[in-house]
Amino acid sequence: MTNQEKISALLEATPKGLLINGEWRDASDGGTFDVENPATGEVLATLASATEEDSRAAMDAAANAQESWARTSTRERSDILMRAYNLVKEHTDELATLMTLEMGKPLKESQGEVAYGNQFMRWFSEEAPRHYGRYADTPEGNLKMIVTHKPVGPCLLITPWNFPLAMATRKVAPAVAAGCTMILKPARLTPLTSQYFAKLMIEAGIPAGVLNVVCSASASKVSGPIMDDPRLRKVSFTGSTPVGKQLMKTAADRVLRTSMELGGNGPFIVFEDADLDKAVEGAMAAKMRNMGEACTAANRFLVHESVAEEFSKKFGEKLGALKTGNGMDEGTDVGPLVEKKARDGVVELVEDAKEKGATISVGGKAVDGNGYFFEPTLITGVTEDCRVFTEEIFGPVAPVITFKDEDDAVRLANSTEYGLASYVYTQDIYRALRIGERIEYGLLGMNVGVISNAAAPFGGVKESGLGREGGAEGIAEYTTTQYMGLPSP
């Protein structure tokens, strides 16, 4: 088979329907939407587009399956997750290829995401039987307390386009482990990876109605009727802060549990005593992974004024040497941005920095031709009024701004409404710890550019969100605590 034939066979084997109550269905009105390849603009596949009626059917399926699913043993749920883990591993190439085709990232990064995303399947398979309760006396000795954790109930899981597998597994795996049923709504731009993942979940034995997947051209047609339904108990959302806020307002009407993994504006702080080669290596990973389209991306490089020139020179050389191209081609380091709108947004941010007097040291332009490519870019002499400093860039653009001392670095790092990922490079471990104590971020990488791990609690503070995914905390998001008391014998 040629590569093209393999891709056609893979697209053919990827489900195109809505997964409701264990069956792949067409949309109730026969509606569809196209999924495009951002590297070429070509249509990859046409999927069923859920209507409000379909969303209600998915809600019915999840609600009907909840009681029996909650009664399954944790071992049974753990086994399903472990079988799914093995299947995802076995189908790494298929999942990675779909991800590169629909999202654009280089194939080797997609393979990395499959490995990372799959760790949530394994981790929560292991966590499922170890989510303990307690049995204790009240201080007065008159009552026995039994504290248990029950599944919160049917959940709506909404995922973004930038990590099409990992964002799904980070929610689906703990929900399965906890005994919740769910409706997964993948992003319109990148649904194919989730569709294929759902197919593997069925093969792993997930019962009908426990996992429902409803893709749609209209996000609100899915979220609207489901969030209005009193049987829904939780919404877990990963995406932009404005949409997260809107969902929280709707959730308030039903007092729904929410987990919100929202935007970021990550500072990457480089002190004068840092190992600059290691800092540049970390900067490349923190900035360029996923073409900069990551909530954890280093958004602002805060560099001590005494080493800013040397750091920028070394960083610029590395950025300038990267090869931009179709993620399916061998040797590609940087793929396209996900859509035209995304690239236009990056162009505007770079133009704004230029107008405000910053210098484009490397790159700075959109690439002509098909696909939504943007050159890896380094901007120096950035000031606090530049939009690249205040907004989430979501592209391969690295702005450098200098600081004078530790207080100045902390002030600059914290001067944002966001608080997700942050990074610090210094050889003084006590300085790194001091920064950790003063910085308002959910995650801090100390001399490391990528820290996400299924065993660690991931999440933000301030307007970056609420709740944690991964770690022991990840399963707690899907459970509710019940206390039962009885007289001491």
Catalytically active residues are 261, 295
Q: In terms of residues, how long is the chain?
A: 489
- Which residues lie below 8 Å from residue 95, measured CB to CB, with a gap of 6+? 88, 110, 114, 165, 193, 196, 197
Q: Can you tell me which of 32, 246, 370, 390 binds ligand NAD, judged by CB under 6 A? A: 246
Of 334 and 338, the one with the shorter C-beta distance to ligand NAD is: 338
Using CB under 6 A as the binding rule, whether residue 161 contacts ligand NAD is answered as yes
Using CB under 6 A as the binding rule, whether residue 414 contacts ligand NAD is answered as no
Are the CB atoms for 198 and 121 separated by under 8 Å?
no
Give the strands of the sheet with 211-213, arranged side by side: 23-25, 18-20, 211-213, 182-185, 155-158, 234-238, 257-261, 465-466
Using CB under 6 A as the binding rule, whether residue 223 contacts ligand NAD is answered as yes
DSSP letter for each residue of 451-489: ---TTS-B--SGGGEES-BSHHHHHHTTEEEEEEEEE--
Using CB under 6 A as the binding rule, whether residue 162 contacts ligand NAD is answered as yes
Are the CB atoms for 106 and 100 separated by under 8 Å?
yes
Beta bridge partners, 234, equal 155, 257
Q: What residues numbered 264-293 form the site for ligand NAD, per CB under 6 A? A: 264
Q: Of 11-19, 45-53, 158-166, 192-200, which segment contacts ligand NAD by CB under 6 A?
A: 158-166
Using CB under 6 A as the binding rule, whether residue 261 contacts ligand NAD is answered as yes
At residue 229, the 3 state secondary structure works out as coil
d(CA 269, CA 379): 16
Using CB under 6 A as the binding rule, whether residue 35 contacts ligand NAD is answered as no
d(CA 483, CA 357): 61
Q: Can you tell me which of 187, 198, 214, 379 binds ligand NAD, judged by CB under 6 A? A: 187
Number of residues that bind ligand NAD (CB under 6 A): 28
Shortest reach from residue 465's CB to ligand NAD, in Å: 6
Q: Can you tell me which of 144, 188, 231, 387 binds ligand NAD, judged by CB under 6 A? A: 188
**DSSP letter (8 states) at residue 269:** E
Using CB under 6 A as the binding rule, whether residue 158 contacts ligand NAD is answered as yes
Using CB under 6 A as the binding rule, whether residue 97 contacts ligand NAD is answered as no
Of 175 and 187, the one with the shorter C-beta distance to ligand NAD is: 187
Q: Can you tell me which of 240, 370, 390, 414 binds ligand NAD, judged by CB under 6 A? A: 240
Q: What residues numbered 378-397 form the site for ligand NAD, per CB under 6 A? A: 392
Using CB under 6 A as the binding rule, whether residue 295 contacts ligand NAD is answered as yes
Continuous H helices in 44-91: 52-70, 74-90
Shortest reach from residue 223's CB to ligand NAD, in Å: 3
Q: Of 14-22, 72-80, 134-142, 157-165, which segment contacts ligand NAD by CB under 6 A?
A: 157-165
Q: Of 101-109, 111-119, 182-190, 402-410, which segment contacts ligand NAD by CB under 6 A?
A: 182-190
What residue ranges in 254-363 does DSSP mark as E strands? 257-261, 266-270, 298-304, 359-362
Shortest reach from residue 239's CB to ligand NAD, in Å: 3
- Amino acid at position 50, single letter: A
Print the binding letters for residues 43-72 with ligand NAD: x by CB under 6 A, - otherwise.
------------------------------
Are the CB atoms for 260 and 93 separated by under 8 Å?
no
Q: Can you tell me which of 51, 55, 100, 159 binds ligand NAD, judged by CB under 6 A? A: 159
Of 77 and 171, the one with the shorter C-beta distance to ligand NAD is: 171
d(CA 113, CA 43): 23
Using CB under 6 A as the binding rule, whether residue 465 contacts ligand NAD is answered as yes
Of 336 and 465, the one with the shorter C-beta distance to ligand NAD is: 465
Residue nearest to ligand NAD (CB): 239
Q: Tell me the pairing of strands 397-403 and 377-380.
A: parallel
Of 295 and 362, the one with the shorter C-beta distance to ligand NAD is: 295
Sign of the CA dihedral with 480 first, then 486, 488, and 489 last: negative
Using CB under 6 A as the binding rule, whether residue 220 contacts ligand NAD is answered as yes
Nearest to 469 by CA among 84, 96, 155, 19: 155
Q: At what angle do helices 92-103 and 107-127 cross, to 10 degrees?
A: 120
Of 181 and 238, the one with the shorter C-beta distance to ligand NAD is: 238
Using CB under 6 A as the binding rule, whether residue 238 contacts ligand NAD is answered as yes
Are the CB atoms for 400 and 389 separated by under 8 Å?
no
Using CB under 6 A as the binding rule, whether residue 262 contacts ligand NAD is answered as yes
Catalog residues that contact ligand NAD under the rule CB under 6 A: 158-163, 167, 185, 187-188, 219-220, 223, 238-240, 243, 246-247, 261-264, 295, 392, 420, 460, 465
